[in-house]
């Protein structure tokens, strides 16, 4: 069972062994989620009083990075599961005890659909998901545009805007009347995450969840951890090429040093916290690193890397994910400035 960083190599090797199948079939069918439950990884995010191990934030961030280094599809799914669990942990004690132990054990699965409150469809001017309180309780209407693992989840944690304009959070059973899960989207990469839109029509939630302190925010430390893990995976491939090409050794060393700096900054942020501005800058730096290392790996692999199915071409496609995932305007601005060579980039 995973307990410390000393157990990470074995966990990473098992994830890497399943990565190709997971990228296509998803971590539910490839067995990686069952593996994470069996090794106690899922329980790391669950409080001790709810059947988990309550691991510290720095260790959790390191875990996400390690998983992303071996299988970005699994890491994405895990990050959305973890986000939902954090919100459920803020629910009433009865809800916590009913949901969290089963989630820690992997016998039930949950996910989160709150991008409509942070980065998705905010430009439309009206709430994508609305909540109204009537005589018989809350009703939720609208659409969650991006829900990872929607058709494989027992519950969904979502957010809505009530009639007073305030954010409300709810736990919804995906099998409830009025919940319609669309077919999974065919994405540029990570289609194995089974990300889909979820429609809600007069849905009665299982529970109301207290909003997180400071409100929900996009682009947290998990997004940085996944980008760092993706960059490390690209560097692993580049380092393999460097074993027979001395001209690549200095390039690998330079990238390793940069990745080490991002990892150190991320670890400090997990230990001591980080303000939104510096966090967005670190997120942009990690995204930039994932993009550049994947392209460097492709260039090193030459034409072979451009063939569908080669690890290099998948790395390039997966790195593009960080251009669109939970990207608040500040992060997008940093990345675009960097791509254009303008001041303000990282």
Write the pLDDT tens digit of every residue in 182-191. Answer: 999 999 999 9
> Token pair for residue 113?
């659909």
How much is the pLDDT for 117? 87
Q: Where are the beta strands (DSSP E) in 153-276?
A: 155-161, 167-173, 179-181, 196-203, 207-209
How crowded is the C-beta side of 59, counted as CA atoms within 13 Å? Answer: 16
How much is the pLDDT for 127? 85
Question: What percent of the chain has pLDDT above 70?
Answer: 93
* Domain ranges across the chain: 5-105, 110-209, 221-340
Domains 5-105 and 221-340 share a fold: no
Q: Do 266 and 221 meet the contact criterion of CB atoms below 8 Å apart?
A: yes
Q: Which fold has domain 110-209?
A: Butyryl-CoA Dehydrogenase, subunit A; domain 2 (2.40.110)
CATH entry, 221-340, from 2.60.40.740, 3.90.470.20, 1.20.140.10, 3.90.79.10: 1.20.140.10
pLDDT in tens, 281-300: 999 999 999 999 999 999 99
- Average pLDDT of the segment spanning 75-88: 96
pLDDT in tens, 234-252: 999 999 999 999 999 999 9
pLDDT in tens, 55-65: 999 999 999 99
Q: Which of 1-15, 22-36, 114-128 has the lowest mean pLDDT?
A: 114-128
CATH entry, 5-105, from 3.90.180.10, 1.10.260.40, 3.20.20.70, 1.10.540.10: 1.10.540.10
Question: What percent of the chain has pLDDT above 90?
Answer: 86
H-run or E-run covering 294: helix 276-301
């Amino acid at each position: 069972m995973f307990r410390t960083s000393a157990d990470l190599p074995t966990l990473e090797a098992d994830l890497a062994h399943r990565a190709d199948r997971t990228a296509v079939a998803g971590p539910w069918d490839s067995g990686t989620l069952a593996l994470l439950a069996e090794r106690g990884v899922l329980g790391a995010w669950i409080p001790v009083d709810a059947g988990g191990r309550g691991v510290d934030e720095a260790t959790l961030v390191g875990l996400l990075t390690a998983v992303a280094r071996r299988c970005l599809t699994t890491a994405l799914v895990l990050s959305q599961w973890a986000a939902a669990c954090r919100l459920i942990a803020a629910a009433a004690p009865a809800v916590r005890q009913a949901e969290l132990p089963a989630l820690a054990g992997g016998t039930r699965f949950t996910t989160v659909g709150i991008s409509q409150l942070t980065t998705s469809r905010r430009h439309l001017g009206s709430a994508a998901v609305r909540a109204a309180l009537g005589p018989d309780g809350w009703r939720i209407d609208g659409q969650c545009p991006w829900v990872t693992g929607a058709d494989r989840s027992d519950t969904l944690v979502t957010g809505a805007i009530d009639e007073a304009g305030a954010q409300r959070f709810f736990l919804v059973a995906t099998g409830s009347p009025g919940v319609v899960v669309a077919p999974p989207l065919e994405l540029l990469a990570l289609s194995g995450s089974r990300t889909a839109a979820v429609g809600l029509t007069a849905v009665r939630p299982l529970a109301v969840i207290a909003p997180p302190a400071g409100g929900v925010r996009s682009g947290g430390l998990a997004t940085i951890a996944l980008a760092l893990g993706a960059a490390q995976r690209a560097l692993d491939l580049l380092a393999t090429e460097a074993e027979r090409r001395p001209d690549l050794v200095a390039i690998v060393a330079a990238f390793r040093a940069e990745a080490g700096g991002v990892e150190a900054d991320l670890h400090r942020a997990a230990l001591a916290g980080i303000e939104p501005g510096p966090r967005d800058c670190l997120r942009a730096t990690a995204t930039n690193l994932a993009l550049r290392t994947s392209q460097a790996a492709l260039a090193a692999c030459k034409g072979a890397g451009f063939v569908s199915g080669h690890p290099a071409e998948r790395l390039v496609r997966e790195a593009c994910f960080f251009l669109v995932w939970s990207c608040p305007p500040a992060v997008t601005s940093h990345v675009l400035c960097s791509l254009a060579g303008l001041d303000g980039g990282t």
